[in-house]
Amino acid sequence: MLEATKPRNSPDKAPANPALEAESRIARIAVTVFPILVVVAGVVGFLLPGAFKPLGPAVPYLLGIIMFCMGLTLTPPDFAAVAKRPWAVALGIVAHYIIMPGAGWLIAGALNLEPELAVGVILVGCAPSGTASNVMAFLAKGDVALSVAVASVSTLIAPIVTPLLVLFLAGSYLSIDAAGMVGDIVKTVLLPVVAGLLARLFLKKLVAKVLPALPWASAVVISLIVAIVVAGSASKIVAAGAIVFLAVVLHNGFGLGLGYLAGKLGRLDDKARRALAFEVGMQNSGLAATLATAHFSPLAALPSAVFSLWHNISGAIVAAWLARRPLQDTPLQDTPLTDKRA
């Protein structure tokens, strides 16, 4: 994941994760180039479906590589942030798993999407936080520690939460194998993340050497997944492309806006609100594409491929806009949510 470099930039204190702070510039470059890579991958997958469609069975393993990279970047301070600010993290998790699944379900119904596309949109909404949310929060001058905590916890609980939400919201469209989905998420998400964590703990010197390459490795692997997904549904993209793009733009827009609003309603400061905007609005589209391909059809994975492109473009634009706006900090000193020591 592009979370592979999660900078902690603070003028007041040393970064909680100095090794990752050093790679912040590389992360910014990767995030800038990433949408271009995804566009190129999508075009190539569409023009040469025969070259990528046979690679469909490899998608779960490719996602495992991305999640292993995420595990490599996690450190004890990331989890300490959860203990310091449990309410803020809980608010981010609840907002993420209510707003995006609910928005996906509403959009699928409002646009009268065919069942496979409807399930694909809902599945994207039920996925954990996305591939570049931490870096976007950093670029937007948001609360990166909170962003990392929400992304990490949302990923770790995904094996239980994602299948249950998909079953509840998409069960009326297609048959949902929730138990099989749990197993797939454990294998492709939880186990690789844990393996990355262990490698970070026991192979610190080796991991430190590869950290700068992780954003690029993740970007390339995600682009390959997009090419495979697009190749699998190339014959239907012309007919479905416009409606899928509209659904994705609406979905992502609701997530970014309502994520910020959730932080405001939760009485978080502006830095935290900015972080929640990206944690809610940006999804792990690689996981959604993997599950859609394995449990439904390549067409059901198309919304995930489009989301992978769009949320990085919109995220970069919103981050740049927020970065130019002064922080509206009016902390409530009597609440633990705004304790500047957190």
Q: Is residue 287 part of a domain?
A: yes
For 27-52, what is the mean pLDDT? 77
For 114-140, what is the mean pLDDT? 87
- For residue 28, pLDDT over 70 is answered with no
For 286-315, what is the mean pLDDT? 85
Of the pLDDT bands very low, low, confident and very high (cuts 50, 70, 90), residue 117 is very high
Output the pLDDT for position 216. 75
Of the pLDDT bands very low, low, confident and very high (cuts 50, 70, 90), residue 27 is low
Q: Please indicate whether residue 226 or residue 97 has the higher confidence score (pLDDT).
A: 97
Question: What is the value of pTM for the model shown?
Answer: 0.78
Q: Is residue 228 part of a domain?
A: yes
Output the pLDDT for position 25. 56
Output the pLDDT for position 254. 95
- Residue 276 near residue 49, CB atoms below 8 Å: no
- Residue 6 near residue 79, CB atoms below 8 Å: no
- For residue 315, pLDDT over 90 is answered with no
Of the pLDDT bands very low, low, confident and very high (cuts 50, 70, 90), residue 177 is confident
- For residue 13, pLDDT over 70 is answered with no
Q: Is residue 334 part of a domain?
A: no
**Gap between the Cα atoms of 215 and 238, Å rounded:** 31
Q: Is residue 282 part of a domain?
A: yes
Q: Among 15-29, 59-73, 84-98, 301-315, which range has the highest average pLDDT?
A: 84-98
Q: Is residue 58 part of a domain?
A: yes
Output the pLDDT for position 337. 43
Per-residue model confidence as pLDDT tens digits over 230-263: 887 777 777 777 899 999 999 999 999 999 999 9
- For residue 57, pLDDT over 90 is answered with no
- For residue 165, pLDDT over 90 is answered with yes
Output the pLDDT for position 334. 37
- Residue 111 near residue 243, CB atoms below 8 Å: yes
- For residue 16, pLDDT over 60 is answered with no
Q: Is residue 331 part of a domain?
A: no
Q: Which amino acid is located at 291 in the chain?
A: L
Of the pLDDT bands very low, low, confident and very high (cuts 50, 70, 90), residue 329 is low
- Residue 116 near residue 243, CB atoms below 8 Å: no
Query: How many folded domains does the chain comprise?
Result: 1
Domain at 39, CATH number: 1.20.1530.20
For 126-152, what is the mean pLDDT? 83
Average pLDDT across the chain, whole number = 80
Q: Is residue 338 part of a domain?
A: no
Of the pLDDT bands very low, low, confident and very high (cuts 50, 70, 90), residue 342 is very low
Q: Is residue 285 part of a domain?
A: yes
Domain hosting 208: range is: 2-326
